[in-house]
Amino acid sequence: MEQKLRHVFRIFAADIDGTKSIKHALNKVKGISFSMSNAICTISGVDASKKAGLLTEDEIKKIESTMVDLSKFPKWMLNRRKDYDEGTDKHLLGVNLKLRKEFDVKKLKKIKSYRGMRHAAGLPVRGQRTKGHFRKSKKSLGVKRKKK
């Protein structure tokens, strides 16, 4: 029995390309890396090399339920270990990850930590040098030439 290939379908508010294998297609969901997508395929029991457009509805539901249930994943794979607010281990996906990251940056700015001040000024946060790079403001124009 031949299945029809679905070219695009949605999982966690992301458009998944049906022509790619499922382990590569799941990378489009924000918060899922290549190792996490491989683990999702292994835990849910779906063939990782199968085209994403050929998945049945049952397999898609298995994948989604695996993405929600974190008890089967090792702790080191999660992207929010020991959450600051709740103290639990989480793995955020999609819009939730984006919002949580914005709230973290706002919290750093509010308490006026070093990292928060660097975020507020638009400077690099993690110790990079700034002499040659990060020149995106109007103050740094490069070489000024004498007008003729």
Confidence of residue 142 (pLDDT cuts 50, 70, 90): low
Residue 24 lies in a domain: yes
Question: How far, in Å, are 7, 29, 93, 126, 137 from residue 134 at the CA level?
Answer: 40, 29, 29, 13, 8
pLDDT digits 0-9 by tens, 96-107: 889 999 999 999
pLDDT digits 0-9 by tens, 24-60: 998 988 888 899 999 999 999 989 888 888 888 898 8
Tokens representing 79 are 């992207």
What is the residue range of 34's domain? 8-76
pLDDT digits 0-9 by tens, 63-120: 888 888 878 888 898 888 888 888 888 888 888 889 999 999 999 999 999 999 999 9
- Whether residue 71 sits in one domain with residue 17: yes
- In degrees, rounded to 5, the angle at the alpha carbon of residue 124 between the alpha carbons of residues 118 and 125 is 60
- Whether residue 109 sits in one domain with residue 69: no
- Whether residue 88 sits in one domain with residue 33: no
- Whether residue 115 sits in one domain with residue 65: no
How many domains in the chain?
2
